[in-house]
Amino acid sequence: MSYLILPKGYRSALTPEETEKGIKLVKDFFQQGLSKALRLRRVTAPLFVLQGRGINDDLSGVERAVSFPIKDLNDARAEVVHSLAKWKRLSLAEYRIRPGHGLYTDMNAIRADENLGNLHSLYVDQWDWERTITSAQRSIRFLKRIVRDIYSVMLDTEQFVCTCYPQLRAFLAPSVHFIHAEELLRMYPDLDAKAREDAICRKYGSVFIIGIGGVLSDGKPHDLRAPDYDDWSTPGENGLEGLNGDLLVWNPILERAFEISSMGIRVDPEAMRRQLKIAGKTEREKLYFHTRLLAGELPLSIGGGIGQSRLCMLFLQKAHIGEIQASIWPDDQREACRRAGINLI
């Protein structure tokens, strides 16, 4: 229950019927805009991959993947994807997608170790996207350009939803504020990472925090990030490290920072070796994905994930992700939500 926020006086602005229609409107409009803005084509993605090949996303390295044996493969184990960060890069190579173009897909995952609450469910749905880049585009400047392109689609989507539902009011900031995680720490040295996110989003509305995964001056990373997909250790602007980040906006319903996307420029062979060493995971260099990357068989890329239910929750101005998607919730949380006017599906 510590992860549950119950906004005082909350009532949904949309009926259940309007909500269901709104979910489809948001998803259809946003993914079409994203595809056009980043020049992405839609592909079909797996729900599970074989264990032990280094293809699944390890997230922060502690989450357990849901797995099962496959009878016709001598009980070799498959595991439900956490995300498709590495699979997408393999697909860029398979489809031979040239720089300036990419792919996106619907990613569905089960994350059994989530702390269930307003923002986190056992079921994760997001648009996973990946785009081939050149070596010259491995820069903070290019990363910011892509973030602005994505945010522009978000602004268009918000205006579209408010046109469809006049009872909703637009609230997104007109632009994104960029800040490195180390600069954010210096601004708010007495706050923990989540409180710093709340403070900066309250101030600017929409924020992209650069450098997620690398250790900061207080001896801790802003947040954990696996060592073998995002590049969080290459020096960027002002000597600060990191070519990745998180896109957050201020959520006026929950009155807190609200993460929409985690994304970044992906590791090249040099960065992956460096980060595997930092993380004490050099044994991964022998896995299928990693050997192909180190052999130069995978293109340079940028990519990320954008939460589908998160985006719908934001634009339809809901207090709980369970108002957008059907999942399993603790009985006490479901009852507390009912009493607070939050109707979980």
Catalytic residue among 58, 158, 246, 268: 246
Helical residues (DSSP H) of the chain, grouped into ranges: 16-38, 85-95, 140-164, 181-187, 193-204, 269-279, 288-294, 308-315, 331-339
CA 116, CA 328: separation in Å to the nearest integer?
Answer: 9
The answer to whether residue 31 is catalytic is no
Amino acid letter, 20: E
Catalytic residue among 31, 35, 57, 325: 57
The answer to whether residue 338 is catalytic is no
The answer to whether residue 197 is catalytic is no
Q: Are the C-beta atoms of residues 119 and 145 closer than 8 Å to each other? A: no
Catalytic residue among 89, 111, 138, 266: 111
Q: Are the C-beta atoms of residues 230 and 266 closer than 8 Å to each other? A: yes
Catalytic residue among 259, 274, 285, 292: 259
For the chain, first and last CA: distance in Å?
A: 18
Neighbours of 261 (CB within 10 A): 22
The answer to whether residue 309 is catalytic is no
Catalytic residue among 262, 309, 317, 327: 262
Tell me the CB-side half-sphere exposure of residue 115, using CA atoms within 13 A.
5
The answer to whether residue 111 is catalytic is yes
Amino acid letter, 130: E
The answer to whether residue 192 is catalytic is no
Catalytic residue among 126, 206, 308, 309: 126
CA 61, CA 59: separation in Å to the nearest integer?
Answer: 5
Question: How many angstroms separate the most distant Cα atoms in the chain?
Answer: 58
**Active site residue ranges:** 57, 111, 126, 246, 259, 262
